[in-house]
Amino acid sequence: MSGSGAASWSFREEDSGRIRAVLMDFLRDASARTALLVDRAGQMLVTVGETPNFDPTAFASLTAADFSANDQLARLLGEHEFGTLFHQGEKESLYLADIARRVILVVLFDNRTTLGLVKLRMKPAVNELSVMFTEMFARDTGNDGRVGAGFVGEAEDELDKLFGI
């Protein structure tokens, strides 16, 4: 079943460390609350800053859908993409930016900062992250896409228990 065409990649411990450092600096400079990285298939990669009090799995899936739908809207207008999106709430707002066409950076902020400052500080962070992710996608994944021996058997047992209803 391998080689199906769906690109696979892995997210390593050292990737997480480098990315967290960039996001922490950005949050401090922009006075924003939380930064999240979500992949385009709707999976949460990293959360930095204040722990959000929403369901992160649901949030990630909706973020990916939001970005994908807006991509299509952009194309209808003859644009290649909308690189960033902004959702303004009464107290909380979201600013989203594309990273290397595969990942979305989501920033949560409130009235402790301004949209202008978030946008200003986000640009260099997006550039830095884009370089990192491009390198990650380009590297040889080797055995990263595989889990240790015994995983599949154990997972199948769990499946039988969970779905053997």
Partner 1 sequence: MSLINYASREINCKIVYYGPGLGGKTTNLEYVYEKVAPSSKGKLISLATETERTLFFDFLPVDLGTIRGFRTRFHLYTVPGQVYYNASRKLILKGVDGVVFVADSQIDRMEANLEAMQNLYDNMAQHGYDLTRLPFVIQYNKRDLPNAAPLQDLDTALNPGWTVDDPERQKSTPDPYRTGDYLVREVDGAWIERVPTFEGVAVKGEGVFDTLKAVSKLVLKTLG
Q: Which residues bind partner 1 (CB under 8 A)?
A: 1-13, 15-17, 39-43, 45-46, 55, 57-58, 61-62, 64-65, 68-69, 72, 144-152, 154-156, 158-160, 162-165
Nearer to partner 1, 16 or 31 (CB): 16
Cα–Cα distance for residue pair 64/61, rounded to 1 Å = 5
Shortest Cβ 88–partner 1 spacing (Å): 21
CB of 36 within 8 A of CB of 47? yes
Shortest Cβ 31–partner 1 spacing (Å): 26
- Find all residues with CB under 8 Å of 63, minimum gap 6, and list them: 36, 38, 42, 96, 104, 106
Shortest Cβ 11–partner 1 spacing (Å): 5
Torsion angle defined by CA atoms of residues 61, 63, 69 and 74, in that order, rounded to the nearest 10 degrees:
-150
Nearer to partner 1, 39 or 109 (CB): 39
